[in-house]
Amino acid sequence: MGGVHGSIHTFETLPIFGELGRSDGARTFRPARRGRAVPLVGIIRNPRSHRNKGVSPEMADCSNILTQTPRTREELRDTLTEFARRGIDYLVVDGGDGTVRDALSAGADLFGDDWPTVIVLPKGKTNALAVDLGLPNKWSLAEALHAAHKGRTVARAPLRISPADGSNHCVQGFILGTGVFSVATEAGQEAHRRGLFNSFAVGLTILWGVLQTLFGGARNVWRACTPTRIVDRRTGQHLPYLGKGRADERYLTIATTFERFPLGARPFGRNPTPGLKLAVIDWPVRWLVALLPAMMFGFNLKLFARRGAHRVSADEVEMDIGGSFILDGEAFPAGRYVLGEGPQINFVVP
């Protein structure tokens, strides 16, 4: 997965959420009214996405379709500002999960809680969001606009991650991972370089990680833990630690608002609750890792929980992470963050 251009590595370069409509003169902009007879469509197209390379944009000659290919975060921000000023009816993200993350982050303060309906054309290497939304791998813009006209949408709230120091900078995406998840992401990139994509690449990466964790030595990176502290902001309670190692370290943490996952996996059980969910493994107990596929496909034995495999639903958590975390394929620095739900956004589905 990759964004519009490179990685967003520091929160200071991100727009500030919550500035829209401030009374101190910092911003007086309001989006234009939507709802035209012929909808206005704004497209963020990532020409670097896997299935966009060497391919011309769709329907670029239509007068109601504004196609832009921003190559930097600044250009993306400017493009979304213009889209918001013109009050687009549909925002199309033509790229992979990283492009969606970049668009949702850059537009956080522009659209606030009032986003236009979003169309995702899954052109990346993994496209996990497309799996959650039930999108076909090859979905044309014309097909998506037809579905939008029919009112076929589903609501999803992205994760919103912001520094715990009170800063209003934020980044928004759908799958956050720490610990061995970072190692797995790099392995997944290697699979992509070898020509493996989507669910097949995900499955192969998981299998390789399980084997490395089962048979690797103490210094194997697949068995390393990361300093991690997780606190429920509503109750103030720390997530309990039930592993064999240090109580301030975790082997794996995954947070998401997805309800469906690649390969038909059910890491949060057979009937996951909507909203923010976390899956945490305290320590790489070998037999527990060997049963990881069973956990991923919905089995919820009490024995798993007693050995440090947690499934948690929360409104908002604070995470103090001693290593980098991954959000939709890109790395962000260690630090103390608040993790919650962003705005409810309507996504077009078939």
User: What is the CATH number for 72?
Assistant: 3.40.50.10330
Report whether pLDDT(20) > 50.
no
Does 92 share its domain with 150? yes
Q: Flag whether 167 is in a domain.
A: no
Does 144 share its domain with 196? no
Overall domain count for the chain = 2
Q: Flag whether 29 is in a domain.
A: yes
Going by pLDDT thresholds of 50, 70 and 90, the confidence category of residue 19 is very low
Neighbours of 111 (CB within 10 A): 19
Give φ, ψ of 289 to 5 degrees: -65, -35
pLDDT, one tens digit per residue, over 320-346 is 999 999 899 888 999 999 999 999 999
Q: Do you know the residue count of the chain?
A: 350
Q: Give the pLDDT of residue 102.
A: 95
Does 138 share its domain with 245? no
Q: Flag whether 146 is in a domain.
A: yes
Does 251 share its domain with 304? yes
Does 214 share its domain with 119? no
Going by pLDDT thresholds of 50, 70 and 90, the confidence category of residue 306 is confident
Q: Flag whether 4 is in a domain.
A: no
Does 310 share its domain with 252? yes
pLDDT, one tens digit per residue, over 121-160 is 999 877 899 999 999 988 999 999 999 999 999 999 999 9
Does 181 share its domain with 101? no
What is the average pLDDT score of the chain?
Answer: 83
Residue 294 to residue 296: CA distance in whole angstroms = 5
Report whether pLDDT(232) > 90.
yes
pLDDT, one tens digit per residue, over 65-81 is 999 999 998 999 999 99
Q: Flag whether 234 is in a domain.
A: yes
Going by pLDDT thresholds of 50, 70 and 90, the confidence category of residue 217 is low
Q: Flag whether 333 is in a domain.
A: no
Going by pLDDT thresholds of 50, 70 and 90, the confidence category of residue 287 is confident
SS (H, E, C) the chain: CCCCCCCCCCHHHCCECCCCCCCCCCCCCCCCCCCCCCCCEEEEECCCCCCCCCCCCCCCCCCCEEEECCCCHHHHHHHHHHHHHHCCCEEEEEECHHHHHHHHHHCHHHHCCCCCEEEEEECCCCCHHHHHHCCCCCCCHHHHHHHHHCCCEEEECCEEEEECCCCCECEEECEEEEEHHHHHHHHHHHHHHCCCCHHHHHHHHHHHHHHHHHHCCCCCHHHCCEEEEEEECCCCCECCCCCCCCCCEECEEEEECCCCCHHHCCCCCCCCCCCCEEEEECCCCHHHHHCHHHHHCCCCCHHHHHCCEEEEECCEEEEEECCCEEECCEEECCEEEEEEECCCEEEECC
Type of residue at 151:
G
pLDDT, one tens digit per residue, over 241-256 is 988 888 899 999 999 9
Does 127 share its domain with 195? no
Give φ, ψ of 124 to 5 degrees: -85, -165
Does 153 share its domain with 255? no
Q: Flag whether 6 is in a domain.
A: no
Mean pLDDT of 97-109: 95
Q: Flag whether 287 is in a domain.
A: yes
- Domain final residue pick, 157, 187, 217: 157
Does 206 share its domain with 151? no
Report whether pLDDT(64) > 90.
yes
pLDDT, one tens digit per residue, over 22-61 is 333 334 344 555 667 899 999 999 988 767 777 878 888 8
Does 140 share its domain with 218? no
**Residue range(s) defining the domain that contains residue 121:** 11-157
Range name among 4-18, 149-163, 221-235, 295-309 with the lowest pLDDT average: 4-18
Does 316 share its domain with 185? yes
Give this prediction's pTM.
0.84
| CATH number, residue 239 | 2.60.200.40
Q: Give the pLDDT of residue 202.
A: 52
Q: Give the pLDDT of residue 263.
A: 76
